[in-house]
Amino acid sequence: MSEAQPFVRFDKVQKSYDGEILVVKNLNLDIPAGEFVTMLGPSGSGKTTCLMMLAGFEPATHGEIFLGDQPINNVPPHKRGIGMVFQNYALFPHMSVGENLAFPLEVRGMDKSERETKVKRALDMVELGAFGNRMPAQLSGGQQQRVAVARALVFEPELILMDEPLGALDKQLREQMQYEIKHIHESLGVTVVYVTHDQSEALTMSDRIAVFNDGVIQQLSSPSDLYERPDNSFVAQFIGENNRFDGTILSVRNGKCKVKLDSGETVDASAVNVGGKGTRTTLSLRPERIEINPKSKAGRSIISGKIEEAIYLGDHIRTRMSAGGSSEFIVKVPNTSGHTPLEEGKTVKIGWLTGDCRALDPIA
Ligand code: ADP
Ligand code: MG
| Tens-place pLDDT, residues 124-149 | 988 899 999 999 999 988 899 889 98
CA Rg value for the chain: 25
pLDDT, average across residues 328-346: 90
Same-domain pairing of 255 and 148 = no
pLDDT in tens, 159-213: 999 999 988 888 888 898 899 899 999 999 999 999 999 999 999 999 999 999 9
Last-in-domain residue among 206, 233, 260: 233
In the chain, % of residues over pLDDT 70: 99
Determine whether the shortest distance from the Cβ of 213 to ligand 1 is under 6 A.
no
Instruction: Give the pLDDT band of residue 351 (cuts 50, 70, 90).
Output: very high
Question: Is the pLDDT score of 269 beyond 90?
Answer: yes
Q: Report pLDDT for 1.
A: 44
In a domain, residue 52? The reply is: yes
Same-domain pairing of 220 and 251 = no
Distance from residue 15's CA to the centre of ligand 2 (Å): 15
Instruction: Give the pLDDT band of residue 90 (cuts 50, 70, 90).
Output: confident
Same-domain pairing of 87 and 213 = yes
Same-domain pairing of 127 and 261 = no
pTM of the model: 0.92
Instruction: Give the pLDDT band of residue 4 (cuts 50, 70, 90).
Output: low
In a domain, residue 3? The reply is: no
Determine whether the shortest distance from the Cβ of 57 to ligand 1 is under 6 A.
no
Determine whether the shortest distance from the Cβ of 172 to ligand 1 is under 6 A.
no
pLDDT, average across residues 332-350: 90
Amino acid at 155: F
Determine whether the shortest distance from the Cβ of 48 to ligand 1 is under 6 A.
yes
Q: Report pLDDT for 167.
A: 85
Same-domain pairing of 140 and 255 = no
Domain that holds residue 312: 242-360
In a domain, residue 1? The reply is: no
Ligand 1 nearest-atom number relative to CA 195: 2
Same-domain pairing of 59 and 149 = yes
Beta-carbon contacts of 214 under 8 Å, excluding residues fewer than 6 positions away, are: 25, 45, 46
Same-domain pairing of 169 and 71 = yes
Taking CA atoms only, the protein residue closest to ligand 1 atom 16 is: 44
Is the distance from CB of 39 to CB of 31 less than 8 angstroms?
Answer: no
Higher pLDDT, 218 or 141: 218
Same-domain pairing of 122 and 263 = no
Taking CA atoms only, the protein residue closest to ligand 1 atom 19 is: 49
Same-domain pairing of 20 and 168 = yes
Same-domain pairing of 228 and 286 = no
- Among 48, 86, 161, 199, name the best residue to mutate to test ligand 1's pocket (greatest count of ligand atoms within 8 A of Cβ): 48
In a domain, residue 299? The reply is: yes
Instruction: Give the pLDDT band of residue 299 (cuts 50, 70, 90).
Output: very high
Q: What's the number of CA atoms in the CB half-sphere (13 Å) around residue 139?
A: 24
Question: Is the pLDDT score of 229 beyond 80?
Answer: yes
Ligand 1 nearest-atom number relative to CA 163: 2
Beta-carbon contacts of 76 under 8 Å, excluding residues fewer than 6 positions away, are: 56
Q: Report pLDDT for 3.
A: 53
In a domain, residue 160? The reply is: yes
Taking CA atoms only, the protein residue closest to ligand 1 atom 21 is: 17
In a domain, residue 260? The reply is: yes
Distance from residue 163's CA to the centre of ligand 2 (Å): 7
Tally of domains within the chain: 2
Taking CA atoms only, the protein residue closest to ligand 1 atom 25 is: 17
Q: Report pLDDT for 305.
A: 96
Q: In CATH, what number is assigned to the domain containing residue 276?
A: 2.40.50.140
N-terminal to C-terminal alpha carbon distance within the chain? 47
Same-domain pairing of 151 and 17 = yes
In a domain, residue 269? The reply is: yes
Determine whether the shortest distance from the Cβ of 41 to ligand 1 is under 6 A.
yes
Distance from residue 127's CA to the centre of ligand 2 (Å): 28
Which ligand is nearest to the Cα of residue 164, counting in written order?
2
Taking CA atoms only, the protein residue closest to ligand 1 atom 12 is: 23
Instruction: Give the pLDDT band of residue 155 (cuts 50, 70, 90).
Output: confident
In the chain, % of residues over pLDDT 90: 83
pLDDT in tens, 6-42: 999 999 999 999 999 999 999 999 999 999 999 999 9
Taking CA atoms only, the protein residue closest to ligand 1 atom 20 is: 49
361 — phi, psi (to 5°)?
-60, 140
Q: Report pLDDT for 2.
A: 47
Least confident of 64-68, 71-75, 146-150, 285-289: 146-150
Question: Is the pLDDT score of 276 beyond 80?
Answer: yes
- Among 23, 40, 86, 163, name the best residue to mutate to test ligand 1's pocket (greatest count of ligand atoms within 8 A of Cβ): 23
Q: Report pLDDT for 339.
A: 79
Last-in-domain residue among 211, 233, 255: 233
Distance from residue 12's CA to the centre of ligand 1 (Å): 19
Is the distance from CB of 229 to CB of 197 less than 8 angstroms?
Answer: no
Closest CA to 242 of 301, 192, 286: 286
Question: Is the pLDDT score of 348 beyond 90?
Answer: yes
Q: In CATH, what number is assigned to the domain containing residue 131?
A: 3.40.50.300
Q: Report pLDDT for 49.
A: 97
Rounded Cα–Cα distance for residues 163 and 84 (Å): 8
Same-domain pairing of 159 and 306 = no
Distance from residue 320's CA to the centre of ligand 1 (Å): 38
